Amino acid sequence: MTKFESATAGALAATLLVSATMAYARGEEEFSRRAGLKGTSIAVDSEGRNIEYTFSTPTAGTAKTTLVLENGLGSPLESWDWIVFLLKEDVNILRYHRRGYARTKSRLRPARILEQLLSDLAPTGPIVIAAHSLGALVTANALTESGDLAARANGVVVIDGTDSDLLDGDRDTPQRSARFKQLAMQEALADVLGVNRWVPSKFERDVEYRPDVQRAFVITTTSVRTQIATVREYQHEPTAGQANLALMTVPKHVIAASDNVEQQGILAAKLGASFSQVPLSSHRSIIGKLQSAQIVADRIRETFDET
């Protein structure tokens, strides 16, 4: 190796070390923000493990209906920021993190987590669940696994949701499954090295939140812990619940991103759901950009206005 090559390698190593150090500091700062006065709340489950959540009520007081927001695959609760902004004066709103996301260490299934949170925060009244991406499967499973949730559910809104048949197909195709894991590993490595600090993340390009929320969204979505949780859910979240949801009499509505209309139309038919789409939207921007989120919020509002 020449002196020039040695110097170049040394400079690159030093740059990566500084970048990794800054990335670590940024992650610690975000964790501290979450634990601060303006951050999120923590509940402790029956096993003594933390559940991270936020719960809001209208300024005028607690509303009759509680809106439960179920996050998509790899997405933190901040992904719902525009929806909360648009609906917070109309309804109680519960957001939470499943196992492995941000500060949640609970190993309980989402159904059990939601049972506990709702029992503590909104023990009576109907619920409407809005679910994005893989959250559609999580919601179907939660309603299947919990009679209490099913009895209280007065509406399910699926937003560009995962189709169980398509996910099963991906899981059964080695190349697709391996590709997903590879992308998650690359994102985790980029987070450790801080590379995504200098190059916009693929997650960041498709959303436009308010600055502080955007920062929290990007840091949490790209973190190693989130990527591990993403791979686990991709591989192991049950798919059978979606067929059970189709049999339930609860009103259902599917909202498609404009680049996924055909597939979401098929999902709506499977669920026996009404159907609409959001123009000029993509899988993440459908709730990650204000113009698209406004259309989604209006449709959710129609659902809980009917309860």
pLDDT at position 197: 59
Give a yes or no: residue 24 inside a domain. Answer: no
Give a yes or no: residue 27 inside a domain. Answer: no
- Structural domain total, the chain: 1
d(CA 220, CA 227): 9
Backbone angles phi, psi at 108, to 5 degrees: -70, 150
37-87 per-position pLDDT tens digit: 678 999 999 999 999 999 999 998 778 999 999 999 999 999 999 999 999
- Calculate what percentage of the chain has a pLDDT beyond 70: 83
pTM, to two decimals: 0.89
- CATH value at residue 73: 3.40.50.1820
How far from 179 is each of 93, 100, 154, 184, 185, CA to CA, in Å? 36, 21, 38, 9, 10
3-class SS at 75? coil
For 179-198, what is the mean pLDDT? Answer: 68
The residues, any chain, with a CB within 8 Å of residue 124's CB and separated by 6 or more, are none
d(CA 202, CA 228): 17
- 106 token code pair: 């609970």
pLDDT at position 15: 41
pLDDT at position 26: 60
Least confident span in 7-21, 115-129, 281-295: 7-21
Give a yes or no: residue 2 inside a domain. Answer: no
User: Which residue type occupies 93?
Assistant: I
Backbone angles phi, psi at 277, to 5 degrees: -135, 160
266 forms bridges with which residues in the sheet?
Answer: none
For residue 115, give its domain range: 40-305
- 66 token code pair: 């509680």
d(CA 141, CA 70): 12
Give a yes or no: residue 13 inside a domain. Answer: no
Give a yes or no: residue 3 inside a domain. Answer: no
Find out whether 162 and 73 touch, Cβ atoms under 8 Å. yes
Find out whether 287 and 293 touch, Cβ atoms under 8 Å. yes
Give a yes or no: residue 116 inside a domain. Answer: yes
pLDDT grade for 19, boundaries at 50, 70 and 90 = very low
Give a yes or no: residue 23 inside a domain. Answer: no
Give a yes or no: residue 7 inside a domain. Answer: no
d(CA 88, CA 65): 12
| Three-state secondary structure readout of 139-155 | HHHHHHHCHHHHHHEEE
